[in-house]
Amino acid sequence: MNRTHAMSLLTLVASLLMGSAAEAQVKLTVLADQPGAVIHRNVYGQFAEHLGTGIYEGLWVGPESRVPNLRGWRIDVVKALKNLKVPLVRWPGGCFADEYHWREGIGPRQQRPVKVNTTWGGVAETNAVGTHEFFDLVEQVGAEAYVNGNLGTGSAQETAEWLEYMTAEGQSTLAELRRKNGRDKPFRVHYFAIGNEAWGCGGHMRPEYYVDLYRQFATFAKAPRGSRPVFIASGGHDERTDWTEALAKGLKGVPFGAISHHGYTLPTGKWDKKGSAVGFGEDQWISTLAHTLKIDDYIARNKAVLDQHDPKKQIGFFFDEWGSWYDPEPGTDPGFLVQRNTLRDALLAALHFNVFHAHADRVRMSNVAQMVNVLQAMIVTSKDKLALTPTYHAFEMYTPFQDATSLGLRLENNPAYSVGAVSMPSLSATAARGKDGRLWLGLVNSDPNKPQELLLDLAGAGAAVTSAKGRVLTAAAMDAENRIGETEQVRPQPYEAGLVNGKLLLKLPAKSVVVVALTR
Ligand code: AHR
């Protein structure tokens, strides 16, 4: 090859490279004139179980405590939850729910029986928090109540009586008992689940057996017209659809409003060695976030089954337990599920939100596991101190999406982010029209090494948008965390993007979550 040929070949390669670089511009098109389903605020629900210090210590200190409290509930924690606009709290479990007997949690606290919490650490369960205390908590927080009933060791009669105790209005011995215990007005039970994880800790049942039991329990689970809860059936926990199929087919003719689906993220995917919450390598950063994205497929498969049986979409698909699950923090009781919470958890939360929004037609509730001190917690406490975790900040940044209307979008040239054999899209996005009328974007850059630039196209948005303002959450280290005494390591910072050559260009730092409102 002579010099001229070599030069023109080089020029060709260079122009091809430049051309492909130009083509590789990441572009986000928001279909602002194509509204989808409303993102139910309960997608931002929480879960509080009698587990470790999730309730006792983390939330409940008792009225006699020196930790400032209102009727036993920590004032600082409740204030932080209100700031998060927590819409819904699920209680008392989890696995604990199938061993919980509600009568043991009413009446004078010092007379309540002390039991062994056989599921979580074998510690004493004082029953100090029971029905009245739970409703006091949700009323203080301003949230709806999701009560999980006991199918595993309870009876249809016990379930029916609990509902009557909570909801009966007029003359009834159980309503009188509730009044005697300090509550005149009925409690408002928005959601009631019949059992939990029936395939596992809830009784290791086959779907067919659970369906029959559910039918029996639901037949007698009554509440006055106008205050009937949405009844929730225990479903599956992965991509399989056998539980959804059995419930959708088998629960016709009895109260049944939604399926509960659970899905946890383990860095290794192995329950015996899940992976560490801190000090992990990039291999576990990517495996965690890539695993999270699998829920998109799990939900899609289950929705497809529901669509066959329930084309009007009356049955909800509630992701009522999700979150990261790591090896327990060394030195803690393994039954307490204590783990640290880092920037990785914030991204994991935001990826969940973006997927849930895309399935807002059926995913009308989700509950992160769990609210305080357990698994992927919002808040960690020690004595009278607390720290807001990176997960808390992700939830707080996404509050404008509560009850917003989801919008279609197209993400083009989304670069792959890969480590070894694991690969995932670098970027994830969601768009919605908020209740405030503004257009909101939620963006995640999962690549911990590389910032990304995203060109925005607002198809059908009407008047030109000139800037995007909001907040960004990122940190120098993948496992940057907030802890008691070091509470400010990961905090949202102001973010603004403007026009570049007449186009709105959003620059996303490496390993970041960005939430912005578009402005003219
Ligand atoms: O959140 C911890 C436990 O995980 C719940 O009790 C159970 O439902 C799930 O297996």
Residue 357, pLDDT > 50, answer yes
DSSP label of 228: P
pLDDT tens digits along 202-212: 999 999 999 99
Alpha-carbon torsion (331, 332, 337, 342), positive or negative? negative
262, 325, 370, 373, best to mutate for ligand 1 pocket (most atoms within 8 Å of CB): 262
Residue 41, pLDDT > 90, answer yes
Q: What angle do CA 442, 293, 504 make, to 5 degrees?
A: 30
Residue 462, pLDDT > 70, answer no
Residue 465, pLDDT > 90, answer no
Residue 342 sits at φ, ψ, to 5 deg, of -125, -175
Count of residues in the chain: 520
514, β-bridge pairs: 443, 472
Can you tell me which atom of ligand 1 is nearest the CA of 200?
10
pLDDT at 16: 42
Q: Which residues are catalytic?
A: 197, 321
DSSP label of 52: T
Q: What angle do CA 126, 328, 399 make, to 5 degrees?
A: 80
Q: What angle do CA 64, 68, 73 make, to 5 degrees?
A: 75
User: What burial letters (b/e) apply to 280-295, b meaning 16+ CB within 10 Å?
Assistant: beeebbbbbbbbbbbb
Alpha carbon of 168 to ligand 1 centroid (Å) = 30
Provide the percentage of residues in the chain whose pLDDT is more than 90: 91
pLDDT at 498: 84
Strand extents, DSSP E, 292-378: 316-324, 366-369
Q: What is the mean pLDDT of residues 100-113?
A: 98
Quote the tokens at residue 149: 């009933």
Can you tell me which atom of ligand 1 is nearest the CA of 95?
6
pLDDT tens digits along 231-263: 999 999 999 999 999 999 999 999 999 999 999
Which residue, judged by its Cα, is nearest atom 4 of ligand 1? 94
433, β-bridge pairs: 405, 439
pLDDT at 2: 44
Q: What is the mean pLDDT of residues 466-484?
A: 96
Which residue, judged by its Cα, is nearest atom 9 of ligand 1? 94
d(CA 451, CA 85): 31
Q: Which pLDDT band, with edges at 50, 70 and 90, does 101 fall under?
A: very high
Residue 13, pLDDT > 60, answer no
Residue 331, pLDDT > 60, answer yes
pLDDT at 500: 85
pLDDT at 502: 81
pLDDT at 183: 98
Residue 306 sits at φ, ψ, to 5 deg, of -60, -40
Alpha carbon of 382 to ligand 1 centroid (Å) = 23
Q: Which pLDDT band, with edges at 50, 70 and 90, does 463 fall under?
A: low
Alpha carbon of 369 to ligand 1 centroid (Å) = 8
Residue 499, pLDDT > 70, answer yes
Can you tell me which atom of ligand 1 is nearest the CA of 337?
2
207-220 and 242-250 helices cross at what angle (nearest 10)?
40
What predicted TM-score, i.e. pTM, was given to this entire model?
0.94
pLDDT at 188: 98
- Indicate the burial class of 122 (C-beta count within 10 angstroms; 0-12, 13-18, 19 or more): exposed
441: closest CA among 513, 346, 515? 515
98, 201, 265, 376, best to mutate for ligand 1 pocket (most atoms within 8 Å of CB): 201
Can you tell me which atom of ligand 1 is nearest the CA of 96?
6
Which residue, judged by its Cα, is nearest atom 3 of ligand 1? 94
pLDDT at 336: 98
Q: What is the mean pLDDT of residues 223-228?
A: 93
Cβ atoms of 267 and 229 within 8 Å: the answer is: no
Cβ atoms of 121 and 336 within 8 Å: the answer is: yes
End-to-end alpha carbon distance in the chain: 56
Can you tell me which atom of ligand 1 is nearest the CA of 264?
4
d(CA 350, CA 305): 26
pLDDT tens digits along 279-320: 999 999 999 999 999 999 999 999 999 999 999 999 999 999
Alpha carbon of 96 to ligand 1 centroid (Å) = 8
Residue 8, pLDDT > 50, answer no
Residue 21, pLDDT > 60, answer no
pLDDT at 501: 82
Residue 422 sits at φ, ψ, to 5 deg, of -95, 130
DSSP label of 433: E
Q: Spell out which residues line ligand 1, taking CB within 6 angstroms.
A: 49, 93-95, 196-197, 201, 321, 369-370, 375
d(CA 31, CA 431): 9
Which residue, judged by its Cα, is nearest atom 8 of ligand 1? 94
Residue 20, pLDDT > 70, answer no
Element (H, E) at 416: strand 416-419
Mean pLDDT of the chain: 94
pLDDT at 6: 43
pLDDT tens digits along 159-190: 999 999 999 999 999 999 999 999 999 999 99
Sequence-distant (≥ 6) Cβ neighbours of residue 248 within 8 angstroms: 259, 305, 306, 308, 309, 310, 315
Say if strands 366-369 and 316-324 run parallel, antiparallel, or are unpaired: parallel
Question: 3-state class of 219 per DSSP?
Answer: helix
Alpha carbon of 285 to ligand 1 centroid (Å) = 23
Q: What angle do CA 432, 510, 479 make, to 5 degrees?
A: 105
Which residue, judged by its Cα, is nearest atom 5 of ligand 1? 94
- Indicate the burial class of 1 (C-beta count within 10 angstroms; 0-12, 13-18, 19 or more): exposed
Q: Which pLDDT band, with edges at 50, 70 and 90, does 491 fall under?
A: very high
Q: What is the mean pLDDT of residues 328-337?
A: 97
Residue 341 sits at φ, ψ, to 5 deg, of -130, 120
Quote the tokens at residue 250: 């088998």
The region that residue 264 occupies, defined by phi over 0 for left and psi between -120 and 50 for alpha, beta otherwise, is beta
d(CA 320, CA 478): 27
Can you tell me which atom of ligand 1 is nearest the CA of 321?
1
Q: Which pLDDT band, with edges at 50, 70 and 90, does 503 fall under?
A: confident
Which residue, judged by its Cα, is nearest atom 6 of ligand 1? 94
Write down the residue that tokens 């309503």 correspond to: 175
pLDDT at 520: 78
Q: What angle do CA 54, 41, 131 make, to 5 degrees?
A: 40
* Bigger pLDDT: 33 vs 346: 346
Cβ atoms of 61 and 117 within 8 Å: the answer is: no
Q: What is the mean pLDDT of residues 68-95?
A: 98
Q: Which pLDDT band, with edges at 50, 70 and 90, does 110 fall under?
A: very high
99, 119, 197, best to mutate for ligand 1 pocket (most atoms within 8 Å of CB): 197
Alpha carbon of 264 to ligand 1 centroid (Å) = 9
Residue 14, pLDDT > 70, answer no
Alpha carbon of 374 to ligand 1 centroid (Å) = 10
